[in-house]
């Protein structure tokens, strides 16, 4: 059954549910595996059920995301030294003109493109399409999701620069992109967590992940009386203080289903 890198079976009071670690962009089409799982459950739980939002609420999220533009659009030439930029340029095989036009957001996009990732194949997007005919629940409120955006927005340029320097120090950004891609595809949680520490988000794990995990686990627990799919970003399901660790403490039996 399992073509999914991060999949767990959950058992609570004799009811079987599943937790799926999603990714916003992917290089493989997992539609068949996701459809098979969807047929086994009665409902879905997402971080935020975007389909339930009003047009005004969706616009609010878009506006908050646009507020991040000042940081993601900042040229990396303004964040790193000329020597560091040259190392980065060579790692990706960029021309000097391409480097000059590369923004911090472009760094993230470049990494995805190099590893063949496709935003149209995001596991979360595919799941939401499959979930349209069944009840859906949100593990976070709209206000809480907007608060996550604020957390990223509050990162200073220096924090982003430090993250880029970590990538360069660990044999170059391109190598870390491949390591991140391979770790996800292979279901390697330990390596995936190592890669997280090479990003700016790794500097704010308490705000960005741990506190959210506690809340999401408490809300997910209320829905496990029916066969459900719990779908969140993979980082919320692995490592210490994860959603699954909190559920396990509440007596939920959890079994990792290894990928093929």
Residue 77: its pLDDT value, please? Answer: 73
Q: Which residues, other chains included, contact 84 with Cβ-Cβ below 8 Å and sequence gap of 6+?
A: 164, 165, 168
Name the percent of the chain lying above pLDDT 90: 30
Interatomic CA distance for residues 242 and 216, integer angstroms: 10
Domain ranges of the chain: 7-67+119-160+173-257
C-alpha of 207 from chain center: 15
* Integer Rg of the chain from CA: 19
Q: How far is CA 172 from CA 93, 157, 163, 178, 260, in A?
A: 12, 20, 12, 10, 30
Residue 215: its pLDDT value, please? Answer: 93
pLDDT digit string, tens, across residues 205-230:
666 788 889 999 999 999 999 999 99
Lowest mean pLDDT among 32-46, 54-68, 88-102, 180-194: 54-68
Count of residues making up the chain: 260
Residue 225: its pLDDT value, please? Answer: 96
Q: How far is CA 177 from CA 22, 72, 154, 156, in A?
A: 17, 18, 24, 23
Q: How far is CA 53 from CA 48, 49, 112, 161, in A?
A: 9, 7, 28, 35
pLDDT digit string, tens, across residues 125-183:
788 889 998 999 999 988 887 777 676 666 666 666 666 666 555 544 455 566 777 88
Residue 210: its pLDDT value, please? Answer: 84
For the entire predicted model, the pTM comes to 0.76
Residue 3: its pLDDT value, please? Answer: 82
Residue 167: its pLDDT value, please? Answer: 57
Residue 26 pLDDT more than 70? no
Residue 65 pLDDT more than 90? no
Residue 67 pLDDT more than 70? no
User: Average model confidence (pLDDT) for the chain?
Assistant: 78
Residue 70: its pLDDT value, please? Answer: 43
């Amino acid at each position: 059954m399992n073509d999914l890198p991060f999949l767990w079976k959950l058992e609570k009071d004799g009811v079987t549910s599943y937790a799926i670690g999603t990714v916003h962009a992917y290089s493989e089409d997992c539609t068949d595996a996701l459809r098979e799982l969807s047929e086994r459950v009665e409902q879905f739980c997402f971080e935020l059920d975007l389909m339930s939002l009003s047009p005004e609420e969706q616009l609010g999220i878009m506006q908050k995301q646009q507020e991040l533009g000042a940081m993601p659009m900042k040229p990396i030439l303004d964040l790193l030294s000329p020597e560091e930029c040259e190392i980065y340029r060579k790692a990706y095989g960029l021309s000097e003109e391409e480097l000059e036009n590369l923004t911090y957001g472009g760094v993230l996009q470049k990494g995805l493109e190099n590893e063949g990732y496709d935003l149209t194949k995001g596991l979360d997007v595919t799941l939401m399409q499959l979930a349209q005919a069944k009840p859906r629940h949100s593990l976070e409120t709209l206000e809480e999701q907007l608060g996550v955006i604020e957390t990223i927005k509050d990162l200073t340029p220096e924090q982003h620069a430090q993250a880029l320097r970590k990538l360069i120090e660990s044999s170059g950004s391109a190598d870390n992109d491949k390591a991140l891609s391979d770790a996800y595809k292979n279901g390697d949680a330990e390596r995936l967590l190592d890669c997280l520490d090479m990003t700016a988000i790794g500097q704010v794990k308490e705000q960005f992940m741990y506190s959210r995990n506690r809340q999401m686990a408490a809300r997910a627990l209320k829905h496990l009386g029916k066969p459900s799919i719990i779908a969140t970003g993979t980082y919320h399901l692995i490592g210490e203080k994860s959603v699954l660790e909190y559920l396990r403490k509440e007596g939920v039996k959890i079994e990792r289903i290894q990928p093929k």
